[in-house]
Amino acid sequence: MDKIVTIIGGGLAGSELAFQLAESGIKVVLYEMRPKKMTEAHETGFLGELLCSNSLKAESLDTASGLLKAEMEMLNSLIIKVAKKNRVPAGNALAVDREKFAKEITEILENHENIKVIREEVKSIPKDRPLVVASGPLTSHNLSKELKNLFGGELYFYDAISPIVDAESIDYSKCFFKSRYNKGESDYLNCPLTEEEFDRFYDALMKAEKVEFRDFEKGAVFEGCMPIEELAARGKQTLLFGPMRPVGLEHPKTGKKYYAVVQLRKEDVEGRAYNIVGFQTKMKIGAQKEVFRLIPGLENAEFLRYGSIHRNTYVRACDYLDSFFRYKDDLLFFAGQITGVEGYIESAATSLIIAKFLVNYFNGKKIKPFPETTALGALSRYVSTHKKDYTPSNFHFGMLPPLDKKIRDKKRKKLELSNRALNALKEYLQSEA
């Protein structure tokens, strides 16, 4: 049996899968249409390019993202390994230098002896098997039509991208460096607002001209990447309890408390650019300049990238895929955000599950589903279990079975869930060895 797998899409999911299979001695043909044909949101032809944010979220085991990353490390995840090598300061979060991160992933895959990268658009589902579709939330129109036939319809939601400002254009006299509650290093640049400044910002935000959805594009916006103006429309308090919450951000020298605070995070190691945290937007460019320059310290901000909103496509996986992301017992698999998982690490994690299946398949071995008490098992179950309303989701602790004992302390409870998951995954991997 020839050990060859075809993968469509060179995002995080496709990149992770290609690496895992190649490292196991399986030949991989990886199709990526960029830069020959670009999407609405990508800027480069690099494999594994990040779009919405440069953060892969928190690392501590009392967080869902921390547990998922720990499990991925146990499976030798390429994405986590390269992310840690190209990290930038971000408190308790794992944030990366986008360009260096994607460039290294590209170099690793393009130079791997078992991987052939083909830069062209795949317009229809090939007959090659095994085949993995990891075309991502920005799947081309041609391929989307094929998916619609396979899955009985096509669903949409929208991701919004935060703006990035030139570090040299920030007025640092009006800001201060600090992480919330002094957790970790002082990696965030904080722009404090008085009540009067906040009211002025809020009023301008509500009046700003925004990009409207066309009729055929209208759909639900994912809560985890909600545009700032959509949050504001729910009321002022939504911002004060959300991306502009001041709690834990008293001035490090004076102890002064503020009515609202906007946080900025480094986009690169050198600190030449900053991302406005949680300020993804669908405002038009002129409105972004006007509104965001009302934030103290950003009065003369030069924007290296404006915020934007783009289409995300996902299929109704819960009625068609099994726990290994396999379509109807065929050797046709779907990986990444197109399956209905949401988030960078979740996308890459789906490929670790598929890789485990394919390596066993080529070696003539059966494979058991990942334990339900693990984050990987929870993602498998979420995608493969029927739901009336199937919407994109990050991994969260609520996906895991409850503990045998009740623990009131929330942090301790999460740590117990994480420890249980890691122990279960360790036993699973040992049994599969």
CATH number at residue 360: 3.50.50.60
Q: Is 10 annotated as a binding residue?
A: yes
Mark whether 392 and 355 lie in a shared domain.
yes
Q: Is 153 annotated as a binding residue?
A: no
Q: Is 11 annotated as a binding residue?
A: yes
| CB-based contacts of 270, cutoff 8 Å, min separation 6 | none
pTM of the model: 0.86
Name the domain boundary from 311, 328, 358: 311
Name the domain boundary from 269, 295, 311: 311
Q: In 10 A of CB 156, how many CB atoms? A: 16
In 230-250, which positions are buried (b, 16+ CB within 10 angstroms) versus exposed (e)? bbbeeeeebbbeebbbbeebb
Mark whether 22 and 72 lie in a shared domain.
yes
Q: Where are the alpha helices (H) located in 223-277, listed in sequence order?
A: 228-232, 236-240
Mark whether 131 and 192 lie in a shared domain.
no
The range of the structural domain enclosing residue 72 comes to 4-154+315-432
Token match 């949409």: residue? 156
* Domain at 196, CATH number: 2.40.30.260
Name the domain boundary from 311, 327, 347: 311
Mark whether 262 and 329 lie in a shared domain.
no
pLDDT at residue 1, as a whole number: 65
Mark whether 212 and 236 lie in a shared domain.
yes
Average pLDDT over residues 1-6: 90
Mark whether 183 and 254 lie in a shared domain.
yes
pLDDT digits (tens, 9 = 90+) for 373-404: 999 999 999 999 998 888 888 999 999 999 99
pLDDT digits (tens, 9 = 90+) for 311-350: 788 999 999 999 999 998 899 999 999 999 999 999 999 9
pLDDT digits (tens, 9 = 90+) for 68-122: 999 999 999 999 999 999 999 999 899 999 999 999 999 999 999 999 999 999 9
Mark whether 266 and 185 lie in a shared domain.
yes
Is the pLDDT at 216 greater than 60? The verdict is no
In 258-270, which positions are buried (b, 16+ CB within 10 angstroms) versus exposed (e)? bebbbbbbbbbee
Mark whether 303 and 196 lie in a shared domain.
yes
% of residues, the chain, pLDDT over 90:
79
pLDDT at residue 256, as a whole number: 96
Domain total for the chain? Answer: 2
pLDDT at residue 274, as a whole number: 94
Mark whether 210 and 278 lie in a shared domain.
yes
pLDDT digits (tens, 9 = 90+) for 169-208: 999 999 999 999 888 778 899 999 999 999 999 999 999 9
d(CA 16, CA 70): 16
Mark whether 167 and 273 lie in a shared domain.
yes
Residue 294: strand, helix, or coil: coil
Q: Is 9 annotated as a binding residue?
A: yes
pLDDT at residue 185, as a whole number: 78
Q: Is 13 annotated as a binding residue?
A: yes
Q: Is 219 annotated as a binding residue?
A: no
Residue 309: strand, helix, or coil: strand
Mark whether 60 and 90 lie in a shared domain.
yes
Mark whether 26 and 143 lie in a shared domain.
yes
pLDDT at residue 219, as a whole number: 61
Token match 């201060």: residue? 176
